[in-house]
Amino acid sequence: MPASVSAAHDVSESMLNKRFEFANALIALPPSLTPTFLKMDVAHALTPKMLPFVLVFLFMFTFDAIGTLIGVCEQAGFMRDNKLPRAKQAMISDAIGTVAGAALGTSTVTSFVESAAGVEAGGRTGLTGLVVAALFLLALFFSPLIAMIGGYPPITAQALTIVGAMMMQNVAKIEWKDYTESIPAFLISIGIPLSYSIADGLALGFISYAIIKAFSGRGREISWLTYVLAIVLVLYFVFVRSRMG
């Protein structure tokens, strides 16, 4: 096969040719919310049959939010003595966003680890959040252009790589010589990407943390609530997560 023909064939079969689509317009009115606004079957969601699913999603969203907030706040330098100041307000804000997003019919509105990029650029105040919110509202009118860029993974992958590199800086703060601390941290680090879930990765770390502390004779260093949480997470993996595939 001639080189020119081979090159043409490679281009035609490439992801760029198959998945990248040019926007058909630069500006467009935001899509109507009528098909999704408040289209929730609350009565069915509160039935005993749906209760396990509600609890699973509650667990997943809570741990996703906690993991993200801690990671981003650590990057921003907000953590004090390994505690997150005003964590209650942060979680309430995340919960309001989740409920509002569900009412509007969007995908889950929650904290995202990509916020570390904004932190690295200097955004550490509420004003940053307000500016970002205003830009998101403005972006609604440029949805064709944003969909063109965001729908092509090779364009957005680099940003995620940079965010991951920034987040990895914090592993230097782990007490690697203390295996009761470093092994759970390591399991979280590999558990999140391998399970494709922040919640599952954190759960693996919580379980191993309690087990290792208990069997190393240092069980009194952590509270009884940690052991209760570890038991609940084990039951979650055995009876819920294993059935989800």
Q: Which of 238, 178, 173, 228 is nearest to 206 (CA)?
A: 228
Range of the domain at 185: 174-245
Contacts from 7-16 at CB under 8 Å and sequence distance 24+? 15/154, 16/152, 16/154
Domain count, the chain: 1
Q: Specify if 72 maps to a domain.
A: no
Q: Specify if 102 maps to a domain.
A: no
Q: Report the distance separating Cα 189 and Cα 182, nearest Å.
A: 10
The DSSP secondary structure of the chain, one letter per residue, reads --HHHHHHHHHHTSHHHHH----S-S--PPPPSTTTTT---HHHHTSTTTHHHHHHHHHHHHHHHHHHHHHHHHHHT--BTTB-TTHHHHHHHHHHHHHHHHHHT-S-----TTHHHHHHTT--SHHHHHHHHHHHHHHGGGHHHHHHHHT-HHHHHHHHHHHHHHHGGGGGGS-TT-HHHHHHHHHHHHHHHHHT-HHHHHHHHHHHHHHHHHHTT-GGGS-HHHHHHHHHHHHHHHHTGGG--
Mean pLDDT by 10 residues, the chain (245 residues): 50 60 79 83 80 71 78 79 80 86 82 75 81 88 83 75 76 86 90 81 87 91 85 79 65
- CA-based torsion, 157, 152, 191, 123: positive or negative: positive
Rg (CA), the chain: 22
**Within its chain, how far is the Cα of 225 from the centroid?**
25
Q: Specify if 190 maps to a domain.
A: yes
Q: Specify if 239 maps to a domain.
A: yes
pLDDT of residue 244: 63
pLDDT of residue 5: 47
Q: Tokens 């035609």 sit at which residue? A: 12
Q: Is the separation of the CB atoms in 119 and 104 below 8 Å?
A: no
Q: Specify if 159 maps to a domain.
A: no
- In the Cβ-directed half-sphere of 190, how many Cα atoms lie within 13 Å? 5
pLDDT of residue 19: 67
Q: Specify if 129 maps to a domain.
A: no
Q: Specify if 200 maps to a domain.
A: yes
Confidence (pTM): 0.59
Q: Which two tokens stand for residue 209?
A: 């943390």
pLDDT of residue 28: 81
Q: Report the distance separating Cα 71 and Cα 163, nearest Å.
A: 11
Q: Report the distance separating Cα 86 and Cα 163, nearest Å.
A: 24
Q: Report the distance separating Cα 68 and Cα 66, nearest Å.
A: 5
Q: Specify if 210 maps to a domain.
A: yes
